[in-house]
Amino acid sequence: MSDVRTGHVILGVNVLVLGYLPAAWQSDLLHKGSFVDADYWNTIGRVAERATLDAVFLADAPALGNPSYDANAGRLEPTVNWSHVAAATERVGLIATASTTLNDPFDLAQRLLSLDYLSGGRAGWNIVTTRDASAARNFGLPEIPARDDRYDRAAEFVDLVLALWESARTGEEVRHHGEFFDLEGRLRVPPSKQGHPVLLQAGGSPKGRALAGRRAEGVFAAELTKEGAITHYREVKRYAADAGRSPDSVKILPGLLLSLGSTEEEARRRSDELHDLGPASYSVQWLSQAIGYDVSRLDLDAKFPEEVLAAIVDPASSGGSIGFRQSIYEQIRRTDPTVREYLRQTRYTGSGHSGFVGTPEQLVDHIEDWYRSGAVDGFNLQPDVLIDGLEVIADEVVPLLRKRGLFRHEYTTDTLRGHFRAASA
């Protein structure tokens, strides 16, 4: 492990409402209305801030999830929710996921800059495209546009939002007549303390990575192996350099699914118990959704057929996220499991996002290894049950990272962009 790298890791928490596993709601620390409880959300923000984390993430939900594989089928709108948490916190960043496929650029630019201004420059936008047909119907569309069209729209959408944020600073009108949008006007929201929200991107397709290199300040990546992460890390940094930017200006932050315990055995037991409390069909249906293939049609005790593996990595395939599919493909190729073995492995290794089951000390070893190896700039941590998993991060994981010189002891900046830049100092 090389110690050449300076600076410190960036740490966020992906707030999957109650936790990333479907059984999270059964925690004794929660009640049936926790997901819409103002105190619950304030607690999440305050604990993250006590840990001096860089940011909390929250995904939008333009369609109800499928409770058979979605751990959090119902969610609050992120910008409204984070505006509430902003009043209970002072430093932690507040990142909202919002789709370029189903939003309007003027409305979203105004909403996000309003959050950024009112929070004192702590807002971020995680840019995604939407692939869910049921979401399209909520917006009066017969179907979701093709992948290439979604990314072409996203590129124009992001450029237009940035122009509108610039208009808030200069007072000059934007005159835009493009392939997807026609707009003449300007924002009347004041610029924020950091100028405008930090841009992050979540997408593993070639066009998604190219967009990240050109515009994003962070990438919410999906990685299952360190080798794959290193390759994708270098790819996005290269896109940034090709766009005339410093490679260090875009931070790579994969998701990391967590089950932690005081011993590895305890952590595995916790993971197993939470998986067993969830729907029996969860793993099969989640994998089906992730790779765009009905896994229930496969022989569970046979290896993955070649035609299924070929479909997983085919960019033209309409199902699932390309980033998730590529990570899953690499993991299957590396371990060559039966379908049943793979589903069992995902309890500990993750599916789409990498998984970690172990002690806080082992987690810190893992974070340091990937960081020192040039695979990541940090992680978006995703506890199995958020309410107590976040406490362990704050009280046990972060102090260990500090002892190794891998994380701040206190905030030195008060904007999200400032946090990101301070990590490189």
DSSP states along 180-204:
S-EEEE---SPPBTTBSPEEEE---
Locus of tokens 């790579």: 252
Q: Which residues contact 143 (CB under 8 A, 6 or more apart)?
A: 133, 136
Per the CB < 8 A criterion, the answer to whether 165 and 106 are in contact is no
Nearest to 283 by CA among 340, 203, 204: 340
Given CATH 3.20.20.30, say whether it is the number of domain 10-264+353-422.
yes
Per-residue confidence (pLDDT) for residue 333, from 0 to 100: 84
Nearest to 228 by CA among 247, 252, 211, 210: 252
Q: Which amino acid is at 269?
A: R
- Which residues pair with residue 201 across a beta bridge? 127, 219
Per-residue confidence (pLDDT) for residue 211, from 0 to 100: 85
Which tens digits make up the pLDDT trace of 163-212?
A: 999 999 999 999 999 999 999 999 999 999 999 999 999 877 778 888 88
Structure tokens at 87: 């009043």
Below-70 pLDDT ranges, the chain: 1-4, 64-74, 313, 315-321, 323, 348, 350-351
The domain locations on the chain are 10-264+353-422
Helix (H, G, I), strand (E, B) or coil at 374: coil
Per-residue confidence (pLDDT) for residue 69, from 0 to 100: 58
Nearest to 209 by CA among 187, 234, 190, 174: 234
Phi, psi of 218 (to 5 degrees): -155, 155
Nearest to 248 by CA among 422, 70, 116, 394: 422
Q: Tell me the C-alpha distance between 292 and 307, whole Å.
A: 13
Per-residue confidence (pLDDT) for residue 1, from 0 to 100: 41
Span between the terminal Cα atoms of the chain, in Å: 21
Per-residue confidence (pLDDT) for residue 86, from 0 to 100: 98
Per-residue confidence (pLDDT) for residue 202, from 0 to 100: 87
Helix (H, G, I), strand (E, B) or coil at 233: helix
